Amino acid sequence: MTHAAYVFDAYGTLFDVHAAVRRHASEIGPQGPALSQLWRAKQLEYSWVRSLMGAYRDFWQLTEEALDFALASMPDVDRSVRATLLDAYFKLDCYPEVPGVLKALKARGAKVAILSNGSPAMLESAVRNAALNEIIDDIFSVDALRVFKTAPEVYDLVTTSYRAYPEAISFQSSNRWDIAGAAKFGFRPVWINRNQMPDEYPDLAPSLILPSLSGL
């Protein structure tokens, strides 16, 4: 099926959120994987809680606060790695299939864009670091609205900008909650289930489930 635009979540979909900790595994020690998981979990939790409260802070602030919590929860990890990890998060690696897939989609004549909770500075840095700046047409950040996904107005950033109906947008995310939000809005959601997680939100099902972006 041909779509007017292929829109991608950034973190966990295009960019590997655990790459920062993995890059400095020797400095962190055996608690590295647990630290990375907790950091990510708190980053997302803070975005949802602040959206519900109407007390917005941008995603970079939440990323810093989530790391601080994770480090405080694991006293065996040297806190001197904080600055190193934040710098690495600002320059996350993309998954290996990403450049080729995005180039192929763009060659079809479709728009290729990002829709993310990330702040503009975070997203621009990640895109530039992965050399995707010549492929990505547009970067949509929730910072323009000061509310995080899964608020419907976030997904509407794309349809308003492209003057397209929701069903003309193929939306890819590795986060099942994000896919649920996109399905409710009316996008054609494609769940990139990289970690073979069990399904959730059965009433808000994806149109397609893939193990990576390669299937697009």
Instruction: Just list the catalytic residues.
Output: 9
Q: Quick one: how many helices (H) and strands (E) in the chain?
A: 9, 6
What are the angstrom distances between the C-alpha of 102 and each of 7, 109, 114, 131, 136?
Answer: 10, 11, 11, 12, 8
120, containing H or E segment: helix 120-129
CA torsion sign, 25 to 47 to 216 to 140? Answer: negative
Give residues with Cβ within 8 angstroms of 124, minimum separation 6: 139
